Every structure is written in structure tokens, then in C-alpha cells.
Amino acid sequence: MKLWSGRFRKETDALVNDFNSSIPFDQRLYREDIEGSMAHASMLGEQGIISCADAENICTGLRGILADVEAGTIEFSADNEDIHMNVETILTARIGEAGKRLHTARSRNDQVALDFRLYLRRQIDEIVEQLLHFQKVLLQQARQHTETVMPGYTHLQRAQPITFAHHLLAYAHMLCRDVTRLEDCRARMNECPLGSGALAGTTYPIDRFATAGELGFDRPMGNSLDGVSDRDYALEFLAACSILMMHLSRLAEETILWCSWEFKFIDLDDAYSTGSSIMPQKKNPDVAELVRGKTGRVYGSLMSLLTAMKSLPLAYNKDMQEDKEPVFDAIDTVKLCIPVFAGMIETMTVHPENMRRAAGRGFINATDCADYLTKKGMPFRDAYTAVGNLVYYCQEQGKTLEELTLEELQRTSPLFETDVYEALNLENCAMSRASFGGPAKAEAERQIREIEAFIQTRENV
């Protein structure tokens, strides 16, 4: 029999029963549901709304259920619709009368909002931990390549010399933002909806500050309607996940390019690659491609929740039960992608000689050549034009800038002297870009130290 069957005179249609039920997916909230109920029951006891003996019975019963769910000995039922009614029904079956007092001064509407926040809070902590590990992997690779010159690209055209460390550190910085975005979202999410009731609070003398404190929230939410109808925290979480997947996807795309025969900047470890069923020579970057592919899935979760929430009148609407699957799917996807991606980056082999070779073609020291003339007194715009002409000449001659003789160079400008060859040397070009945040070795080392400190402050809490 249903918990809410009093008002009804007919059984729910079997199809409607399944349609309405969320237990197949919300059962993963069992722990949070039980934690929330224990805090609620204890508060009811403290406030004299139920007896302390009942409160104790409830908590003992709930602890038993938690242990049994974890041991896998409990079967949830679609007849009890969702995790909240399943737990309550099992509790009452086990402890009798006291179980029926648990839902005093509470609604599933504030209950589900509470469970979801508790769950997301925990998930954020785990995802942040994975991100910090991934950052360490990036730093470890970066440390080995602070002098590995490679072409930096714009429009996927060789542009200016950088180092492989500099490139990897760009991603480490993105991950810092992903971490702080999740932290911001967690901080804003950390208000407790419990006690909002169905929508309009309650006439019982509940203590919302007590339950909020007990469950580790900063404070109770300030408006009961908002308390039950807000899903901003889930949207913010999905937005943060989408952005973080976008970062992974960009690195995935670059990894795919880098391990192609066209680039060969890196080789992926055999353990992180897959073969072809027909082409014996193939070694494919499936991990990177899957991460790139799964990014769309996470964006999809964000879009479906945004769409589910738009135009919902206050307060709770059953549409909101649709919040869980996209969020759960995004969590599963993100938590699968980060560690596998980190492993792929950790085990890849870098080919500095191929990066250096690529850097040698494509005139990526042309800006440096113009800067050379500028430093000798020529206005930058004139130097830019002069070097443009030199590049044209080089292409006709099949030469690089540094392969031109001093005489050839001086035909363009008498300002060229023998020290130009030092200025055009690619290692020098990369290393002398010592502006704050640039690819020079000292700057890479500064970035590494900063990100190490970022990780450390979070690991020491």
C-alpha cells in the first residue's frame, strides 16, 4: 500500500507506477537520505516534537538500514516510488510506530532538495581530488620540458616558439579555475533546505539552525519556497563540469593531433591506446577521442536540466525529478574521464626532437626578427614589413630566416649585424620570452611553484 494511499480509492495503473517511480536512479541517494533523516529525527526529539525515545529508535533503525543497504541485502521497490518513501517504509516495517513519526514537519520536497545537495557536496570533493591529481601529472610532465622548444600555434598555423612545459601549464591553469569553480559552487550550495517543508515551512517549533549545523551546512536557506524549488546548485555544478570537460576535450584534441604521424610530438603508451580489427599497424588514441566525445554528453546534461527548470512555477513540480539522471550521468562521466586522461598524459612519451624540428620550419622566429630590428631603432611597423619581405624571399629561396647570409639580411636593412643569428636561434627566442606568464624557463618554474602551492593548500585541509 502506498504511503499516500489515504486519499485514493483505486490502485495506481501499473504503467503509471513505473513511470512515476524514481527509485531505479535515486537509490544512489540512500546514504544522504538516511543522514538527513537522522538529523531531522534528532532535532524533532530535541525540540520535544517527538519523544527522545522515538528519535533514538528512528536513528538506530536508520543506521541498521544503512548497513543493510551497504551490505546489499535490501531490495528497493518501485511501489514505494523513490528512495525517500522506500527508506521510510522499511524503517516503519522494522521499528513500528516510531517510524511513522519520522516525517513529522517534513516533506519529500525539502527532503529531496537536502539529499541532492548533500550528495553533490560529496561528489564535488571527490572530483576536486581527481583534478588535483591530474594537475600533479601535468606538473610532473612540465618539469621535464621547461626547455623543450615547440611551435606555439594560432589558427593551427605555427606562430611563435614556446616550450612543451608552457603548453602543458596552460592546462594546469585551466584546471585551477575548474577547481575553484567547483569550490565556489560548493560554497554557494552549502545552505540547508531542510525545514522548508512542502513549500511553506511548518507550524512545529523546528530548529533549522540545528539541522543545518548538524549536516555541515553554513546556514538554513532563508526562504522556504526557494528552499524547495531551487536547483541552481545542480545547474552550477553541471556548468562547472561542462567547462572542465571542455578543457579536457581541447587537450584531447591536441593529444590526438600530437600522436598522429603528421606531428609525432608524442606517443601514447600501449596501455592507453587501442588497435584496429583490420589494420595491423594501427595504434589509436581512443581514450582521448572518447573524452572528446563524452564532453557533448555532459553539455547535454546541462541543457536538459536548464530546459527542465525553465518556466516552472514555484515551488516543487514533478518535472524536477528529472534533475537527477543528467546530474548523475555527468558525475559518472567526469569521474571516469579525469583519471583515465591523467593516466594517458602521465604515461605518454614525448619526442622533443620532433617538436624542435617542427619549430624549425614555419618562420616562428619572424616576430623575433622584427623585434631585433625594433630594438636597433627601427619602428616596429617598419620592421614588421621588412621581415615580411624577408619571409617572402626565404620562401622563394627555400631557406629559413637564420639560413640567410648577413649580406642577404643587410639588403633588407643595414641594422642587421652578426648578433642577429643569436636573436633568431629558436632556443633563445623561447627562453628570452621572459615576460610574466611567458614561456621562459624561470617563468615556467614560477608557474609550477604557484600551482604546487595551489594543490598543497587544498591537500592540507
Task: Write each residue from 6 to 25 as x if it is in contact with ligand ARG (CB under 6 A), else as -, in one continuous string.
Answer: ----------------x---
Q: Which of 155, 277, 311, 435 is catalytic?
A: 155
Residue 347's contacts (CB-CB under 8 Å, 6 or more residues apart) are 268, 269, 271, 272
Smallest distance, Å, CB 110 to ligand ARG? 9
37 binds ligand ARG, rule: CB under 6 A: no
26 binds ligand ARG, rule: CB under 6 A: yes
Q: Which of 321, 365, 367, 447 binds ligand ARG (CB under 6 A)?
A: 321
- Given the complex with ligand ARG, which of 40 and 158 has the nearer CB atom? 40
Handedness of CA 235, 236, 242, 245 (dihedral sign): negative
29 binds ligand ARG, rule: CB under 6 A: no
Q: Which of 38, 266, 320, 344 binds ligand ARG (CB under 6 A)?
A: 320
Smallest distance, Å, CB 316 to ligand ARG? 5
Single out the segment in contact with ligand ARG by CB under 6 A; choices: 45-53, 216-224, 273-281, 313-321. Answer: 313-321
Single out the segment in contact with ligand ARG by CB under 6 A; choices: 107-115, 185-193, 300-308, 375-383. Answer: 107-115
33 binds ligand ARG, rule: CB under 6 A: no
Pick out residues in 386-425 that bind ligand ARG (CB under 6 A): none
The neighbour count for residue 123, using CB atoms within 10 Å, is: 21
- Given the complex with ligand ARG, which of 22 and 242 has the nearer CB atom? 22
Q: Per the omega criterion (within 30 degrees of 0), is the bond before 440 cis?
A: no
Q: Exposed e or buried b for every residue in 159-186, given b needs 16+ CB within 10 A?
A: bbbbbbbbbbbbbbbbbbebbebbeebb
Q: Judge contact between 205 and 233, C-beta under 8 A.
A: no
Smallest distance, Å, CB 112 to ligand ARG? 4
Smallest distance, Å, CB 189 to ligand ARG? 17
Q: Judge contact between 444 and 380, C-beta under 8 A.
A: no
Residue 185's contacts (CB-CB under 8 Å, 6 or more residues apart) are 124, 233, 236, 237, 240
Q: Judge contact between 401 and 389, C-beta under 8 A.
A: no
Q: Compute CA 225 distance to the chain's CA centroid, rounded to the nearest angstrom.
A: 30
Smallest distance, Å, CB 320 to ligand ARG? 5
Q: Which of 40, 101, 103, 108 binds ligand ARG (CB under 6 A)?
A: 108
Pairing state between β 191-192 and 266-267: unpaired
Q: Judge contact between 180 and 160, C-beta under 8 A.
A: no
Cell digits of residue 131: 583534478
Smallest distance, Å, CB 255 to ligand ARG? 39
Q: Which of 42, 166, 276, 311 is catalytic?
A: 276
- Return d(Cα 374, Cα 380) in angstroms, integer: 5
- Given the complex with ligand ARG, which of 92 and 109 has the nearer CB atom? 109
> 291, exposed or middle or buried, with CB in 10 Å at 0-12, 13-18, 19+?
buried
Q: Compute CA 126 distance to the chain's CA centroid, rounded to the nearest angstrom.
A: 11
Q: Judge contact between 426 and 365, C-beta under 8 A.
A: yes
Single out the segment in contact with ligand ARG by CB under 6 A; choices: 118-126, 284-292, 316-324, 404-412. Answer: 316-324
Q: Judge contact between 207 and 46, C-beta under 8 A.
A: yes
Smallest distance, Å, CB 63 to ligand ARG? 23
In the residue annotation, 155 being an active-site residue is answered as yes
82 binds ligand ARG, rule: CB under 6 A: yes
Q: Which of 37, 57, 109, 295 binds ligand ARG (CB under 6 A)?
A: 109
Handedness of CA 129, 133, 136, 141 (dihedral sign): negative
Q: Which residues form the catalytic set? A: 155, 276
Give me the residues that bind ligand ARG (CB under 6 A), please. Answer: 22, 26, 82, 108-109, 112, 316, 318, 320-321
